[in-house]
Amino acid sequence: MSLDRLIKGIIEKNNPTVVGLDPKLSYLPEYLLREAMENAPDPLTGAADALLRFNRALIDALCDIVPAVKPQCAYYEMYGWQGMRTLCETVSYAREKGMYVIIDGKRNDIGSTMEAYAAAHLGHTAVGETQLRAFAGDALTVNGYLGSDGIDPLLTVCKKEDRGIFVLVKTSNPSSGELQDRLIGDQPVYEIMGEMCEQWGADQIGEYGYSAVGAVVGATYPEQLSLLRQKLPHTFFLVPGYGAQGGGGKGVAGAFDQNGIGAVVNSSRGIICAYQKEGCDPHDFAGAARREALRMQKDITENL
């Protein structure tokens, strides 16, 4: 009915961050790929197996200090259906370890097609009398360009299955303004999208005042982040762009409310490739991720 499970995890761990699991092969220590390839029947199966080993080790190293992970679908699709199997197994493993899983798919469509995406990532798929989970995330990122027809099917599943969505509002990339900053009357497009999030979530508000419909708002636009925090009091923010894309702890402070909640800040490469930057033994990649996650936690909570 809301994003409360995520918020509870953030409060318990005093850590409003999520680790993006975006595992390109080039991010992996060489030995991991080599080991996975040795017994693989084909290259994509080997690659997918290496990605799974990488993710599992990261989840093991992070699950007691970080409340959530955000696997990015593109990096799994790139390795074919074998990569999608790794996505599926990564989601299960993270949930077993008590982490909240935001599947970053930015999915969008309408009607029965959107119902299919909702079933795939948040709900159940019927096969005969059996109801099965396909990817089984806790939340899914979505794109609202198609309007309510694309969001309503998700709201039904969110309510029924205690799941959440994050709608793209103001993205972190340099060209996000080409459409998102254009004015409709005296309001930029992203603000209108933000107001739609408030409406979509209006009847699924949880105990912290936030609904099941969150918004993606980039760390790279601190002014818009603060402004949107004020304008969208019931909309929880997923904030990409920390670290690799340039935003820091001070820059994201405006995403939080006066109680220090209201947002979860993502870092992907900054954490999962920390071993490369640190220059440590590649066998310690998960340890380096943990050290960087703790540094990020400090950087963000200090600035609240």
Site residues for a copy of itself, 41-60, by CB under 8 A, read 43-44, 46-47
Examine residue 161 and tell whether it contacts a copy of itself (CB under 8 A).
no
Least gap, CB of 88 to a copy of itself (angstroms): 5
Please list every residue from 10 through 29 that binds a copy of itself, using CB under 8 A: 22, 24-25
Contacts of a copy of itself in 118-147 (CB under 8 A) = 119-121, 125-128, 130, 132, 134-135, 143-147
Q: Judge whether 70 counts as a catalytic residue.
A: no
Q: Select 116 or 205, whichever has its Cβ closest to a copy of itself.
A: 116
Token reading at 182:
């254009």
Please give the radius of gyration of the chain, using alpha carbons only, rounded to the nearest integer. Answer: 19
304 binds a copy of itself, rule: CB under 8 A: no
Residue 92: how many other CB atoms lie within 10 Å = 14
Nearest distance in Å: CB 72, a copy of itself? 6
| First vs last C-alpha separation in the chain | 27
Q: How far is the CB of 44 from a copy of itself (least distance, A)?
A: 6
What crossing angle do the helices spanning 43-62 and 285-302 adopt, rounded to 10°?
50
Question: Which of 16, 29, 150, 243 touches a copy of itself (CB under 8 A)?
Answer: 150
Q: Which of 77, 96, 203, 302 binds a copy of itself (CB under 8 A)?
A: 77
Q: Where are the alpha helices (DSSP H) in 71-188?
A: 73-77, 80-96, 111-121, 148-161, 177-180
Residues 185-214 that bind a copy of itself (CB under 8 A): 185, 189, 192-193, 196
Binding mask 216-235 for a copy of itself (x = CB under 8 A): --------------------
Of residues 12 and 126, the one with the C-beta less far from a copy of itself: 126
C-beta neighbour count of 5 within 10 angstroms: 17
Q: Is 180 in the site for a copy of itself (CB under 8 A)?
A: yes
Nearest approach, Cβ of residue 297 and a copy of itself (Å):
24
Q: Check if the beta carbon of residue 72 is closer than 8 Å to that of residue 303.
A: no
Residues 259-298 that bind a copy of itself (CB under 8 A): none
**Which window, 168-176, 202-210, 280-288, 291-299, contacts a copy of itself (CB under 8 A)?**
168-176
Choose, from 13, 97, 106, 159, the residue flagged as catalytic.
Answer: 106
Which residue from 89, 7, 20, 8 is spatially nearest to 289, judged by alpha carbons? 20
| Contact call for residue 31 and a copy of itself (CB under 8 A) | no
* Beta strand residue intervals within the chain, DSSP E: 17-21, 68-71, 100-107, 125-127, 130-132, 139-142, 164-170, 183-184, 187-188, 213-217, 237-239, 263-267
Task: Please name which of 231, 200, 207 lies closest in space to residue 217, comparing C-alpha atoms.
Answer: 231
Please list, in sequence order, all residues whose beta carbon lies within 8 angstroms of the beta carbon of residue 207, skipping any fewer than 6 positions away: 2, 4
**d(C-alpha 227, C-alpha 144), whole Å:** 20
Give the residue numbers annotated as catalytic, written as ranges: 106
